[in-house]
Amino acid sequence: MKSPRTTLLHTACMAVLFTSVPALADEATTAADPVTLDRVVVTTRLERVPAFDVPASTTTVDLGQGGHNDVNVSDYLDGVPGLLARDRQNYAQDTQISIRGAGARSTFGVRGIRLYSDGIPATMPDGQGQVSHFNLLGGERVEVLRGPFSALYGNSAGGVIQLWSAAPTQAPEFTVQSTYGRDDSWTAGARVRGTSGPVGYNVAVQRFMTDGYRDHSAAERNSGNAKFTFDLGAAGTLDLVGNSFQSDAQDPLGLTWAQVQADRTQATSQAEQYNTRKSIQQNQLGALYTLPVGEHQKVRISAWGGNRKVVQYLSLPITTQANPLNSGGVIDLDNDYGGVDGRWSWDGELARRPLEVTAGSNFERQRQHRTGYNDYVGDVLGVRGDLRRNERNTVENFDQYAQAFWEFIPRWSLLVGARHSQVRFASKDYYIVGTNPDDSGSKDYSETTPVAGLSFAATDDLRFYVSAGRGFETPSYNEIGYRADGGAGLAFDLQPAVSRNYELGAKWRAQSGAHAEVALFRASTHNELAVARNVGGRSSYRNVGDARRQGLELSAGVPLAQDWSLDVAYTYLDATFRDSFPICTAAGCTVANTLVAAGTRIPGTARNQFSTTLGWRHGAWNASLEGEGVSNVSANDQGSAMAPGYFLANLEAGYRWDFTHGALKGFVRVDNLLDQDYIGSVIVNEGNGRYYEPGPGRGVMVGGRWTWGGDGG
């Protein structure tokens, strides 16, 4: 229960936001240029309804703005309320992202959030996703959807993040970009886009290398993305999207608190001893066909397929691998995946009031060949040894969905929808040796997730809304992959987590470009999935009863004067387990013997999060001062380990040189201006107490982007 002091603080923040921001906006109206207000967010799946009128929390972040190296999407997401993106400084484990606490438990990759790139899923059918293959150099914007309506995207949709490529220009445009920064980190990339006859194109490639902030954390990445748009006239349009990503990264592993205090740049001795590392290779192709049917209907069909290979070397002791049921310290995953999605949309009238309807169906399949090996040969560690696991896993989902937006009377609108999901996991075991049994099996999950939202237009520039819905999340194959009791086989005893989600919010805007949003939210979850234990780089999971995530989001942006602007965002999140449950805490534990009390904070979540950007632009010059604050983060279920809170300041300045046929933009950026020591992310429930991944100190990055040709050249 919130204290009166906390409730009063939140009420005061809301009052200040909605009274002071309009006043500041009025002062700046004459100085600022008009902006486009009615921006449609494609992620809502509504063709003609601006995001401002949708009873949901949405944020659109423009890419290519400011001085970033376009490697980590977290650089652009810091100002999104409700979203916590933590750069691990460990490229073997990818960015850690959670939305309103969903996905906070993930020890690598992204869980509990649906990811898309140009309409093609970047989340596997089992709910596990990666943002590392997002090619930001070729992108135009990132859209973020939060709250109940995320459930319309199906399994594990605690939120939705979607990257969209930049649209083709009419005249050919060429861009080259390069950056250099701390730890001998550098990027080099190029993009070309344009239109040739009926074909538009956007092709981008980039290479990134770094020695890493910590010992044993060097990495290199190569990525490419190509999008071709074919204008077929009356027959519609066809988009073809190809994506390739390759990564090799050392893994320094997490540190204990004592190790952080002794030397925050060190890697653990186990990381050096076993040469812990991860390699990823992914290639994907997709197609999206859009056909207008008359003036009011559209049919969209998308199909995609790809392959993702992952090889990871862990620091699993030889004695642990002596257990005949152990599957070794080397993980080798070979995933083939694909799917098809078809939907129909119609806009017209019902009872002489505007109505927009969308209905569709989705099928996806992931086939995984999973093998495990010893991570030693004789006395040599960190090499592939004898086979210890060999299985073929399949997960399929077949979903149907529909939604409708109806302005049923003046100033009032209703958005309703539902999705029915069927998910099937199946495993065939081919490693049946000695006392290691046949662990083949299967599991079916099914759920219907309805959602509804009501919006009221108090004025042309003010909206109030309320929404509610139901969501669900199955365990992923990584979560099913290891049993909590340490035995062989998959954890098919895990049940899906089912949530009830509510949101109450308001949105305001002004002709000057000033805007403000506030949202109160709650998600109550039954059969919450939590880490049962995390040993030797492996996490096993269990259902732990009920949990609740509730809080407040505030965001505002205002032009302060002719050359100045201010953006702020704040999130309060109260994420707790509502039931007590036992867990393992000792190394090698297989029987849970420590009780987590009801009311304990869910690990990986921060109670308070704040960001602000003060921007200045005058002629060819631009500069910004950024601030980011995060309160302490619990690192384990019992709440006995905490990563301290921190506040970081970043400074950036740039200059643009315009030429006859192009422009060169140079920039310099100083991250962690005050050289603060802080923990960038945590590894939830790490079995050896190595929870902490330190963030880097002060660092300088310089870069340049040269663009020539295009519609402006």
Cα distance between residue 499 and residue 148, in whole Å: 10
Cα distance between residue 59 and residue 51, in whole Å: 9
First and final C-alpha spacing in the chain: 59
Contact 214, 694 (CB under 8 A): yes
The amino acid occupying position 169 is T
pLDDT digit string, tens, across residues 219-254: 999 999 999 999 999 999 999 999 999 999 999 999
Cα distance between residue 532 and residue 222, in whole Å: 35
The amino acid occupying position 286 is G
Residues 6+ apart with CB under 8 A from 307: 281, 282, 283, 284, 334, 335, 336, 337
Cα distance between residue 383 and residue 273, in whole Å: 11
Residues 6+ apart with CB under 8 A from 459: none
Contact 364, 125 (CB under 8 A): yes
Residues 6+ apart with CB under 8 A from 686: 107, 254, 534, 635, 636
Whether the full predicted model's pTM is greater than 0.85, yes or no, is: yes
- For 172, the token pair is 């050919």
- In this predicted structure, what is the pLDDT of residue 483? 77
- In this predicted structure, what is the pLDDT of residue 49? 86
- For 358, the token pair is 């969308």
Helices and strands, counts by H and E, the chain: 6, 41
Helical (H) or strand (E) element with 272 = helix 269-274
Contact 341, 360 (CB under 8 A): yes
- For 558, the token pair is 């205002």
Low pLDDT (below 70) residues in the chain = 1-43, 486-489, 533-539, 586-590, 713
As beta bridge partners, residue 1 has none
- In this predicted structure, what is the pLDDT of residue 116? 92
Indicate if the alpha-carbon torsion angle 183, 75, 134, 330 is positive or negative. Answer: positive
Residues 6+ apart with CB under 8 A from 293: 299
As beta bridge partners, residue 671 has 699
- In this predicted structure, what is the pLDDT of residue 586? 66
Q: Alpha carbon of 636 to those of 384, 600, 642, 685: distances in Å? A: 32, 10, 8, 5
